[in-house]
Structure 1
């Protein structure tokens, strides 16, 4: 007779829960260990995968941090937030930002605008439950936002300035 048992991830005393969590973490780390940091979407996917792996491990150890009702209470931000951008979200994810190859990330208005400003050929779409005008506000904010605005480097080339700055100077980005 073969004896099998089902182990719950919610039971921290269950050694198989930890083993499963460790295996998931290993797989996610292997998949996202090497990321082209020039690809914002790859960086965001890797960040999300590694964050989830840590959550699973903490849950298996019964040390999970309670998830707040408000984004950013524990440093968690929307998927459109670049890992090097220190600014907090300004609310829930309300838009999807797509790059020229249709890879995308959902974001709050603030990070959506910053991501859109950092992309060539990016587009913004409202999520189904977004407040009216969210995509327009993101598009408008992105127009006046410099690419990678958290970087403190001189902005001398058109690709380093906002679209609005380039229009005022008569240059295309």
Structure 2
């Protein structure tokens, strides 16, 4: 563990600003309660706070890692797949919490929600919401997790219909 005082850093003003930002981020985003959009905001805020703090301490990474392609807010943090384009839909859960997403992640997150809904964004290509809805029907919930899937809650809606079970 590194111990330092505010007076032994490269830029005390930057560290003071980073500490204030970190405190505000904890207040604003300390809990996200399953809200996908709030989770994405919290992750971005945390990343930027750490970047500012490391810069102020003179402890930036030696070699910058190539920036990963930004992912849409609908991409689950455990889903390793890249976006297939810009956000074109909004996916809402039963409580109307939602996230904008590309067609790929929109379908994957919709498949993982009970009572989820999808709406096209104003500039979306024609049929985007319909494609997401149809793809979600054949996508298993939380499809990025490995393991056997036999319980109806682990199968796609289409698989459950074929088996005569509703989810």
TM-score w.r.t. the length of structure 2 is 0.77
Please give the alpha-carbon distance, in whole angstroms, between the structure 1 residues aligned to 2:87 and 2:19: 30
Aligned to 1:147: 141
Matched, 1:21 2:14: no
Q: CA RMSD in A?
A: 2.6
Q: 1:47 and 1:26, CA in 2 relative to 1: closer, same or farther beyond 3 A?
A: farther
1:12-91 map, 5 Å:
15-36=12-33, 39=34, 41-42=35-36, 44-55=37-48, 58=51, 61=55, 74-91=68-85
- 1:106 pairs, out of 79, 100, 113, with 100
Do 2:107 and 2:136's aligned partners in 1 also have CA atoms closer than 8 Å?
yes
Quote the offset at 1:153 in angstroms. 2.4
Runs of 4+ in 1 over 4 A off after TM superposition: none
TM-score w.r.t. the length of structure 1 is 0.75
Do 1:117 and 1:146's aligned partners in 2 also have CA atoms closer than 8 Å?
yes
Q: For 1:17-72, what per-residue CA distance to the aligned partner results, in whole angstroms no more than 9, with x for missing partners?
A: 44223312222134434454xx2x25x52342232342255368397xx9x9xxxx
Do 2:32 and 2:38's aligned partners in 1 also have CA atoms closer than 8 Å?
no
Aligned to 2:3: none
Question: Between Structure 1 and Structure 2, how many residues are aligned?
Answer: 150
Partner SS for 2:158: helix
